[in-house]
Structure 1
Amino acid sequence: MAINLPHIEDAENTIYLPPKGDYETFVDDSHYEEKVREWGLSTTKEVKKEFWYKESTHQRLVTIKGYEVYGAATEHNTVIIEFQDGNLSCIHPAYLKEMQSPSFGKAIASDTEVKSSSSRVQKAKKSSSKPAAVQKKSVEKKEKTKKLDLPEEKVHFTASVKQFGLSWNNFKEENDEVVILENVVVDQENPIEVGLAWCSHSKTLKKFELVPGETLEFDGKIVKKKLPKAKDAEEEFVVDVPVLYKINNPSKLKKS
């Protein structure tokens, strides 16, 4: 049963949490679709462009402009949404996903609960920082072993296909297909040897019919994001080595 909230722009009663400084934007439509599916915000063949932002007295249409990254391994995201009046606000992707449910209105019975949406973002950031503090010594040891100064812009890579695997997606609560790359090098004036990295085995990549052992070159953006371990995966799709870096939206791919 749909909730009986008026479908209006109600800016005066909306609590905004604007981003503090710069945030990540989408490289192109494919990157947008990859992230929205990763957050579990769209399961249809054509990825949604608009979403409902709901409060106790009203609901408003919003679009996703980008996202922030945080956590010890930058594995967590906060979504940046834009309202129809141009205002920006931060929201946890899991909470935005809850808002898309027709039954969501039953869960927001008071203004106090509405204000808790702001604390969800802050609590998520704090909870992600606590384990990092507890395990500070072990993290420092790993960082001393290999600490890379990663480029923020899109760059050119060379790499080879190591294997195909599965990775657990908390938002969709299922495994995603991934490609594990080895001998990954950022091809620039001063090359950066990354070693292992992973990326989503998207429909675009599947068209290339990749095979383990093949050497590739492509463009993309690299971030420090550890590969989440798969759940209940067949042995051949289990990745048994730590992979700490992710390549987002590889494009202009060529087989060497």
Structure 2
Amino acid sequence: MAVTLPHKEDLNQTNYITPAGDYETFVDEDHYAEKVREWGLSTTKEVKTQFWYKDKTHQRLVTIKGYEVYGVSTEFNTVIVEFQDGNLSCIHPAYLKEMQAASFGKALLSETSEAPVPSEEKKVTTKELKSPTSEQKVTAKKEKKATKEKAPKLELPEDKVHFTATVKQFALSWNHFNEEHDEVVVLENVVVDQEEPLEVGLAWCSHSKTLKKYELTPGEKLEFDGKIVKKKLPKGKDVEDEFIVEDPVPYKINNPSKIQKS
């Protein structure tokens, strides 16, 4: 299919929502593939590297450079896309997913031309994100209330740190972006190894292609490096088709590396 490039005047009409300051970037190709599939932007064996950004009068190819995180539990993402002219813009992954449909753009509302909202608030308006924003606010309020009632707040390290943990189980967690189950690993006895050890308890991480190479089994003790964030494990099922775990798993470990079995 021939690609029609936009006219120069169309480029000037694109409503860029420029990211404010630093944003999360991808550690490697596996990390990129994990996030793109989590957002439901690619379901093929070879992960897509280019996507359509569509407007009322034109469509442009973009690549994903990174993402922002926001919400009480940093559960929500705003994708950072780069246009072929080097401009960056923020967009909700669900909205970018809609843009990939052939029917998208035939009945766009005029609101898309309104001025951008500063991304330092870690969110954009409902006119840019469409329906997810109102649902996100309700979810964030519920999580904030539950946090106050159920557990004291941990001061999580912001940088990559060293962990010890035990493999508790493998599970399937529901991904609302692509409406499929993702494979995850639930860890117990998680401790941040620092001058004053921080006992985390339960945490989880994606069972990525890299992690599968270690052939982990329940009960194994591990040491590894990673970055921990407050992100509750979505409800799902374990590999035996039973509900995931009785206790909540409030923390996620991103990109575990230098894994050693002890």
Give the TM-score, by structure 2 length: 0.85
- Are 2:203 and 1:197 equivalent residues in the alignment? yes
Which residue does 2:6 correspond to in 1? 8
Comparing 21-30 with 48-57, which one deviates more in the overlay?
A: 21-30
- Residue pair 2:185, 2:207 contacting (<8 A) in 1 also: yes
- Residue pair 2:95, 2:130 contacting (<8 A) in 1 also: no
- Residue pair 1:166, 1:237 contacting (<8 A) in 2 also: no
Cα deviation code 1:160-195 (max 9, x no counterpart): 100111100011101111110011111222322111
Question: Residues 91-102 of structure 1 correspond to what in structure 2 (within 5 A)?
Answer: 91-102=91-102
Which residue does 1:214 correspond to in 2? 220
Q: Which secondary structure state, in structure 1, belongs to the residue aligned with residue 167 of structure 2?
A: strand
Coordinate RMSD, CA, aligned: 2.7
- Are 2:103 and 1:103 equivalent residues in the alignment? yes
- Are 2:27 and 1:21 equivalent residues in the alignment? no
Distance in structure 2 (CA, Å) of the matches to 1:152 and 1:121: 28
Structure 1 counterpart of 2:231, one-letter code: K
Distance in structure 1 (CA, Å) of the matches to 2:171 and 2:135: 29
- Are 2:148 and 1:140 equivalent residues in the alignment? yes
Aligned residues: 251
Distance in structure 2 (CA, Å) of the matches to 1:86 and 1:245: 35
CA distance 1:133–1:175, change in 2 (3 Å): closer
Which residue does 2:192 correspond to in 1? 186
CA distance 1:163–1:154, change in 2 (3 Å): same
Structure 2 counterpart of 1:8, one-letter code: P
- Tell me the CA shift for residue 152 of structure 1: 2.0
Structure 2 counterpart of 1:12, one-letter code: N
Which residue does 1:240 correspond to in 2? 246
- Tell me the CA shift for residue 222 of structure 1: 1.2
- Tell me the CA shift for residue 106 of structure 1: 2.7
Cα deviation code 1:53-86 (max 9, x no counterpart): 1101111111111111122211111111111222
Which residue does 1:128 correspond to in 2? 136
- Residue pair 2:147, 2:153 contacting (<8 A) in 1 also: no
- Tell me the CA shift for residue 215 of structure 1: 0.4
Which residue does 2:43 correspond to in 1? 43
CA distance 1:88–1:188, change in 2 (3 Å): same
- Are 2:85 and 1:85 equivalent residues in the alignment? yes
- Are 2:170 and 1:171 equivalent residues in the alignment? no
Give the TM-score, by structure 1 length: 0.87
Structure 2 counterpart of 1:173, one-letter code: E
Cα deviation code 1:66-125 (max 9, x no counterpart): 1111222111111111112222111110110111122223343x5345659962338644
Distance in structure 2 (CA, Å) of the matches to 1:230 and 1:6: 43
Q: Indicate the percent of aligned positions where both proteins have the same amino acid.
A: 68
Q: Which secondary structure state, in structure 2, belongs to the residue aligned with residue 103 of structure 1?
A: coil
